Amino acid sequence: MKDRIHFPIDELSSAREIFWSNDNRVPWAEAEPGLSFHAADIEDAELRLRRFAPLIRRLFPETEESGGIIESELRDIPAAADALGLPSGTRLLIKLDSELPIAGSVKARGGIYEVLKHTEELALESGLLRPDSGPEEYEALADHRDFFGTYSVQVGSTGNLGLSIGIMSAAIGYRAVVHMSADAKQWKKDLLRSKGAEVIEYEGDYASAVAEGRRLSEADPKSYFVDDESSSSLYLGYSVAGGRLADQLEKVGISVDSAHKLAVYIPCGVGGAPGGICFGLKERFGDDVVVCFIEPVQAPCMLLGLASGKMNDICVQDIGLSGKTEADGLAVPRCSGLVSREMSQVLDACCTVRDDRLRGYMRLLRESSGIVIEPSSCAALRPLTMLAGKGSPVSADELRSMTHVIWATGGGLMPPEVVEEYLEKA
């Protein structure tokens, strides 16, 4: 197979860092009609999240202030822009999904949304909810733990998706079973168990944990499997972030147009989170937003799928890579088929990052801005160091004309001793 596919596959297989502009991309207006989802699907997800807000508020008092809406801050980080060496006056912000309530990662979007969607379906079938149910009835779902306890929710995860699905499912009363790959960090397993979820550990990688979880779940008619490799619910749950970010930008007076583009940098694992967010942003900003995904040099599954055109019919081991990386949230050997197809004519760029940069980025963010995110999430800084460096493909003036947003995808729940250990070795 190796000799039949060409650039950038040869470079990818050498595990060198590369930047890839998507040559299959077409203007948004041309791509949009051919997509599987549209603005109305995002709206449907947003409305469902609002219906469930009273329940979220009751189950998770930390969401009291936001009325049960799970959202994160968008923060200016000028000192980090300087530390990265960006031309002075370049506006850099960070979207702090690392601080999202409940799960401390971007997975608090898609993961929680999918559990709620499933819950609504079960509640409608059983008569706990009716199509015209109001806020009180949604909130009262918290009183039906016995009913939900007869059902299970299962998921395969490298860590953060498990945290999000496990915590949410256990809070509603489901039996929550999380199948964790070998990459998953111990503290994530411990935390999940403390919240009442069952954690099953596997020797193998993410794809094998998912396969085993799917198999066990399918054998049980009262079990629901959250399928990260092909879930449209996850994708749409994430997509809501596009409109939310647009509103936040507007609030701080940042306008986005063809002369003032928005550039967004999102770490990518299987693709659901960055794909959904990219879709949501494109629906809002069209070609005025430029989205770049970042993957580890040993696990660039989305770049591989898109650049080869093989989507999820190829995995990183097929080109001689290991799939192993310290960036546990991105340790995915094969991309989502659904997301890669949706992104193929839409995504602007992908790039890869070496593991040994991640702790340095972690230190840079903490020292410049007092923000702590996990190593996977730090991958988002890689394109900026490239754009700031010598030989940047983008001129200083052009960099300054844009608004740059780093998507901090996780780390809010990291125990302090884990943070110190990472930084010691930075």
Ligand X SMILES: *Cc1c(COP(=O)(O)O)cnc(C)c1O
Query: Which residues here bind ligand X, judged by CB under 6 A?
Result: 105-107, 160-161, 267-274, 329-330, 332, 374, 376-377, 409-410
Which residues make beta-bridge pairs with 155? 178, 226
Nearer to ligand X, 63 or 181 (CB): 181
Q: Look up residue 382 and give its two tokens.
A: 């890689």
Residue 119 CB, shortest distance to ligand X, in Å, is: 21
Nearer to ligand X, 156 or 271 (CB): 271
Nearer to ligand X, 268 or 399 (CB): 268
Residue 393 CB, shortest distance to ligand X, in Å, is: 24
Nearer to ligand X, 148 or 202 (CB): 202
Residue 270 CB, shortest distance to ligand X, in Å, is: 4
Sheet holding 152-157, edge to edge: 198-201, 175-180, 152-157, 223-226
Nearer to ligand X, 220 or 326 (CB): 326
Nearer to ligand X, 345 or 377 (CB): 377
**To which H or E segment does residue 337 belong?**
helix 337-343
Distance (Å) of CA 409 to CA 274, 373, 388? 9, 8, 22
Residue 332 CB, shortest distance to ligand X, in Å, is: 6
Helix, strand, coil distribution of the chain in percent, nearest 5: 50, 15, 35
Residue 143 CB, shortest distance to ligand X, in Å, is: 32
Residue 45 CB, shortest distance to ligand X, in Å, is: 16
Provide φ and ψ at 180, rounded to 5°: -100, 130
The residue written with tokens 């702790």 in the block is 359
Asked if residue 109 lies in contact with residue 241, where contact means CB atoms within 8 angstroms, the answer is: yes
Minimal CB distance residue for ligand X = 269
DSSP state of 426: -
Amino acid at 413: L
In 3D space, the residue among 203, 209, 297, 268 whose CA is nearest the CA of residue 407 turns out to be 268
